[in-house]
A and B are shown apart, each in its own frame.
Chain A
Amino acid sequence: MESVAGRAPKALLLALGLGIGLLALLPPSLPTYVVIVLTESLIYAIGAASLDLLLGFTGLPSLGHAAFFSVGAYATAVLVTRHQASFGAALAGSVVLAAGVSAAVALLALRATGIYFMMITLSVAMCAWGLAYRWVSLTGGDTGIVGIPRPRVPGVGLASGALAFYYAILALFVVCLTLYLLFIWSPFGKTLVGIRDSESRMRVLGFNVFLHKHLAMTVAGAFAGVAGSLYAYYNGFVGPSTVDLAHSMEFVLMVIVGGPGTLVGPVLGAFAIIFLEKMVSVFTDRWVMVLAAVYVVTALWAPRGILGLLGRAR
């Protein structure tokens, strides 16, 4: 990671500009199916990057990120199907609720560190799954919530076509990415890296380590809520499978495969995992096995993920 006290990292901004340019220009000439997979990748990229704020930057190994993603997804599903909420209202509701739940979980989980932190976040994810399954009056139980209509985007109208919806998501992705970059370059973002490197030093330097970690979890929860809300619109359906453990692990894998603590890495990781999933599931149902193999290969030969490999090749 480049020095952030010194200057803006120009190479990174150039690469990002290039990537977003391609994402903006290519889709009209791509098959509809690919555009749909790209849409899903962008949504997961927002979610994976929010987990990277915890896992990569703060050193908090949260295993329950799908819980906050799902709070966002269910909030949007309920607000849209039962209260006819507008796109903006549903998104805002999802963000506030996911951030709130994340803040409450943080109060509990941050009392522990290391493996105990992992266990608490894992059990939170399991509880969220249990609630999604059993709290039928709110979540529809096993049937979930179906028939979530595509959003009406101000100035564009109903983003019902695959391409129109894609561009709406791309625009939100760019907004989120900008906020993420500002966040990790900010003084607060730097304090999180300091906490990852040495909590004891941060304390004697005058930082309230618990408060910083708590705010980091709240912010990450808010962004997971954004991703969850967009996912509800994208999928048109939200059910217990959105909350399950495999889903949490997928987020972790996106971060690890991409390169933790790089922000851009997990975005690439999300694209890699989603495209791989779509390709593999054409041939076999055993997607989780392939996912596990990807994890083993990454751990053995690319411990710093895709970005680590790119850095080494340079």
Chain B
Amino acid sequence: MMSAPPEAAAPALECEGVTRRFGGLEAVSKVSLRLAAGERRAIIGPNGAGKTTLFRLISGEMPVTGGRVRLFGRDITRAPCHHRTHLGLGRTFQITNIFPTMSVLDNLVLAALGLEGAKFSMLRPLWTYGGPRARAEQLLEAVGLADKRDRVVRTLSHGEQRQIEIALALLTRPRVLLLDEPTAGLSPAESALLTRTIQQLDGRITILLIEHDMDVVFDIVSRITVLHLGRCFTEGSPAEVRKDPRVQEIYFGAGEAASC
């Protein structure tokens, strides 16, 4: 039997019964999600709900123990992490994961190399390559860090490092972008700035967002999936989820604890 060809109408990202078991613990349990192209969706849930683990399963950093992951209809369940990036999947990290010893520009140029064959070139200096450099400088301008281009990123503020965190992912030209708590640890002003950056992204980019800050969630997404104890708890529009008393219960620990 032939596998069905990827269709234009296929969901941008589809998880079908995705499961990850660690010994006796199911950190992610039969999670199913469908994101249409261009959709912006948030995943919320209390600590330990399995949100970041789910991201790691989707991005391929960790193999699933069950279920399937599809990107625009193509089954990527077994594809290695770097291959998924080439297919249009981008990801940022909750804990800033950038190249601390390099300058801002070097960080972005390196990220821009990810999709280029030039990354295997060994005998020609990097500064003679115009393409990655131009893309890096263009994005540097867009995120407002052009005046910091020669600073070593280690010496930048946390807010600026979070901007670079997203900039690196954008340089892989993602069609589906996984954002893991982009505003973690930011002040309200910095958070608002970053939220605007995300809102201004190309509308064709599908976004899946993990976020605890409800203001950020309501500004960016149109649908929310609530994850609890590794399972899909409920799904709905931001207004529906906000009204749902069961969601408030799991967040405030009244769920299972109520019977005590």
Contact = CB atoms under 8 A, between A and B. Distances in A.
Contacts of A190: 106, 109-110, 113, 126
Given A186-B124, A205-B85, A208-B80, A194 B150 contact: no
A188 interface: yes
A291 B13 CA distance: 58
A177 to B, nearest CB: 14
B81 interface: yes
A198 B99 contact: yes
A266 interface: no
Interface string B103-137: 10110011101111011111111110100110010
A218 B188 CA distance: 49
Contacts of B113: 187, 190-191
Given A185-B127, A201-B93, 10 more contacts: A8-B127, A182-B122, A186-B121, A197-B102, A203-B82, A203-B85, A204-B90, A204-B91, A205-B110, A205-B171
Contacts of B163: none
A246 to B, nearest CB: 32
Contacts of A187: 113, 116, 118-121, 124, 126, 129, 132
A201 B118 CA distance: 19
Contacts of A1: 101
Interface residues of A, number: 32
A5 B105 contact: yes
Contacts of A209: 82
Nearest to A198: B97
5 contacts: A3-B105, A3-B150, A5-B109, A203-B82, A204-B91
B59 interface: yes
A183 B80 CA distance: 27
A187 B122 CA distance: 7
Nearest to B111: A205
A3 B102 CA distance: 7
- The 9 A-B residue pairs with the shortest CB-CB distance, nearest first, are A206-B85, A206-B114, A205-B114, A5-B109, A185-B125, A197-B99, A203-B81, A188-B122, A201-B97
Contacts of B85: 203-206
B244 to A, nearest CB: 33
A135 to B, nearest CB: 34
Nearest to B165: A201
Contacts of A188: 119-122
Contacts of A186: 121-126
A182 B82 contact: no
A200 interface: yes
Nearest to B97: A201
Interface in A186-231: 186-191, 193-194, 197-198, 200-201, 203-209, 215, 219
Interface in B167-208: 168-169, 171-172
A7 interface: yes
A155 interface: no
Contacts, number: 123
A213 to B, nearest CB: 13
Overall SS of chain A's interface: helix
A207 B105 contact: no
Interface string B128-160: 010011001000000000000010000000000
Given A187-B113, A197-B101, A204-B61, A3 B122 contact: no
B99 A206 contact: no
A193 B113 CA distance: 13
A52 to B, nearest CB: 15
Interface string A3-15: 1111110000000
B127 A6 contact: yes
B127 A204 contact: no
B119 A8 contact: no
B100 interface: yes
B113 to A, nearest CB: 5
A218 B90 CA distance: 30
A164 interface: no
Contacts of B150: 3, 6
A197 B125 CA distance: 20
Given A182-B125, A208-B82, A201 B119 contact: no
A89 to B, nearest CB: 23
Nearest to B178: A204
Contact of A200 (B97, B103, B116, B127): B97
A303 to B, nearest CB: 15
B37 interface: no
B34 interface: no
A197 B106 CA distance: 13
A179 B123 CA distance: 7
B242 interface: no
A207 B82 contact: yes
B57 interface: no
Given A188-B121, A204-B81, A193 B61 contact: no
Interface in A154-194: 179, 182-183, 185-191, 193-194
A255 B126 CA distance: 25
